[in-house]
Amino acid sequence: MKYTESKYANDDAGQSESQKDWSDYYEATKQGPPRPLLVSALKHVTNKNRAIDIGSGALNDTRYLLGQGFDVVSIDKNPTMEQEAVDKQNEKLHTFMTKFEDFNFPENEYDLASAMYSLPFIDPIHFNYVLAKIKSSLKKGGIFCGQFFGVHDEWSTNQKMTFHTKDQLKVMFEDFSIISFEEEEIDKETATGKMKHWHVFHVIARK
């Protein structure tokens, strides 16, 4: 296996799902720049019309997408998201405090589905169902971007989170065209300052 330092290596995501309170994470990440993978993905979006931010956290990416002219659906199970939603009055922003597995993803709706460091936190019981719903929510030609954690990730013993091999991911996206697929394996601090071994796949793909 080739271990690379990704161009997305400055990405920094959170904490173990065993820490149920994400407030430290939101505090550390709020007002930060949009995720570089999302910025890259946007170059491939033909119509900047409707986007969904899946696991929107402190809403940095949601704000960026609004600024790019998208109508944005922003979903996260954590109530902190609601408190941070200072620009909730924006009529182009639709926030839903919900678990991914309970959200009623509309079909063929979005030009962009962005899941920045969020999908690995889904319980494996729900993972395939949620990913299928996300994929079907994209219009034909729409763009998916997101991270998946690999089996060498330090948190991979957490049975409430989902980890993948490269081969599994290739199969999961065989009905999409892959635009970018980067594997990153690195020791680096989390957003809240703890050293961690990261094994991350950064994916951009077109439906």
Ligand X SMILES: C[S@@+](CC[C@H](N)C(=O)[O-])C[C@H]1O[C@@H](n2cnc3c(N)ncnc32)[C@H](O)[C@@H]1O
The site string for ligand X over 167-206 (x = CB under 6 A, - otherwise) reads ----------------------------------------
3-state DSSP helix/strand/coil % of the chain, to nearest 5: 25, 30, 45
CB of 117 to ligand X, least distance (A): 4
CB of 69 to ligand X, least distance (A): 20
* Chain residue whose CB lies nearest ligand X: 57
Size of the site for ligand X (CB under 6 A): 19
CA angle 167–172–176, rounded 5-degree value: 115
Q: Are 37 and 202 in contact (CB under 8 A)?
A: yes
Q: Is 99 in the site for ligand X (CB under 6 A)?
A: yes
In angstroms, the CA 205 to CA 207 distance is 7
Stretch that binds ligand X, among 64-72, 94-102, 138-146, 196-204 (CB under 6 A): 94-102
Site for ligand X in 111-170 (CB under 6 A): 116-118, 121-122
CB of 38 or CB of 205, closer to ligand X: 38
CB of 190 to ligand X, least distance (A): 9
Q: Are 60 and 30 in contact (CB under 8 A)?
A: yes
Taking alpha carbons only, the member of 53, 116, 110 closest to residue 85 is 53
CB of 38 to ligand X, least distance (A): 8
CB of 140 or CB of 193, closer to ligand X: 193
| CB-based contacts of 129, cutoff 8 Å, min separation 6 | 101
CB of 2 to ligand X, least distance (A): 25
Taking alpha carbons only, the member of 141, 139, 120 closest to residue 131 is 120
| CB-based contacts of 32, cutoff 8 Å, min separation 6 | 58, 60
The site string for ligand X over 46-85 (x = CB under 6 A, - otherwise) reads ---------xxx------------------xxx-------
Tokens of 45: 């979006």
8-state DSSP, 197? E
R_g of the chain computed on alpha carbons: 16
- Interface residues with ligand X (CB under 6 A) are 13-14, 22, 29, 35, 55-57, 76-78, 99-101, 116-118, 121-122
